[in-house]
Amino acid sequence: MSSTVSQIERVFTAASHKKVWDHFTKAQRKNIEMWKKQSSEIKAVQLEDSLIEGEGEMDVSDSEEEPQRKKTRNQSDSNEDIERLQSLKEENDSLRCQLEAYKNEVDLLKSETKAELEAKEKQMKMLQQTLKGMQEQLMQSRKQQAQDDQKIKDLTVKLNATKKEEPRESEIITLDKDDDISEEPRTPKQHILASSFIQVTQKDAKLIGLIATFLHIHPFGASVDYLWSYLQKMEPGIKPNEVEVLMQRFPQVFKQELFGIGANMERRWQFSGFNVYRAH
């Protein structure tokens, strides 16, 4: 009997620890405190009974009826104590089950949290790899853009140098009426230049050279907006419609084609200056 009470007290003491105590509800804590108090009272009663029994055995002068009444009372108290201890034992078993359930729940939460953290870490690594790939692609695009710009500059320099080396147009298409009768007939090239002569300004000539150079390195053509975005770096005040009107004035040098199907169809300009001379 005494060992059972001691065991119950140890369980209540373990349940009172903070880590375990936090898992119980307010009502459960109240019941545990009440049961702990009851077990202490039972233990005190047992100690008192033990003392009384010891005194009864030492007192030989008492009457035989008094020990009998005490014995009966002790037996009645013992029966009540046994019932209360049994009830406490059942409650103790219930608390153990609840405590085990709380432990399992905590383990489950830890497992779920760990899995969630691993998933987020994996997702973070994938995002970092994607970002790295995008950065590399951007660097390659910038490098390619720089190479294209350099090609355009080189071609522009070559074009300007070629223009300086070519004879003036007046020397090709103008003849003096007072020349000898043995005047040589014009070549097809001279005839084309004489018949299709169009006056252009210095700005138009510069733009034509830049457009021709840009379209030459873009054999599949380019839209007006694409050309304008390039030209405005050197001519900030130019407008897209000015670019398009300028190219329309020279159909033998620039031509417009349709690319794509349906809603994806778009108009692109191409450089055809070499084709004109090739055709003649």
pLDDT value for 275 = 66
Q: Is 148 a member of any domain?
A: no
Q: Is 214 a member of any domain?
A: yes
| C-alpha dihedral (110, 113, 118, 122), degrees to nearest 10 | 180
pLDDT value for 262 = 79
Domain boundary among 35, 50, 65: 50
**Of 211, 185, 229, nearest to 269 (Cα)?**
211
The total of structural domains in the chain comes to: 2
pLDDT value for 54 = 63
pLDDT value for 173 = 39
Q: Is 131 a member of any domain?
A: no
Q: Is 158 a member of any domain?
A: no
- Which residue range is the domain that position 233 belongs to? 202-271
If one counts every other C-beta atom within 10 angstroms of the C-beta of residue 268, the result is 19
Task: Provide the token pair at 23.
Answer: 């898992």
pLDDT value for 118 = 92
Q: Give CA 137 to chain center in angstroms.
A: 18
**Of 278, 277, 226, nearest to 247 (Cα)?**
226
- Per-residue model confidence as pLDDT tens for the chain (280 residues): 666 767 777 776 777 766 677 777 888 878 888 887 887 778 777 777 777 766 656 555 555 556 666 667 677 777 888 888 888 888 888 888 888 888 888 888 888 899 989 999 888 888 888 888 888 888 888 888 888 889 898 888 888 887 776 545 444 433 343 444 344 455 555 544 445 566 778 888 999 999 999 998 888 889 999 999 999 988 888 999 999 999 999 888 899 888 888 788 888 999 887 665 444 4
Q: Is 245 a member of any domain?
A: yes
Q: Is 55 a member of any domain?
A: no
**CA distances, 127 to each of 119, 122, 124, 186 (Å):** 12, 9, 5, 70
Q: Is 238 a member of any domain?
A: yes
Q: Is 190 a member of any domain?
A: no
Domain boundary among 13, 34, 50: 50
**CATH code of the domain covering residue 224:** 1.10.10.10
Task: Provide the token pair at 198.
Answer: 């169009």
pLDDT value for 18 = 66
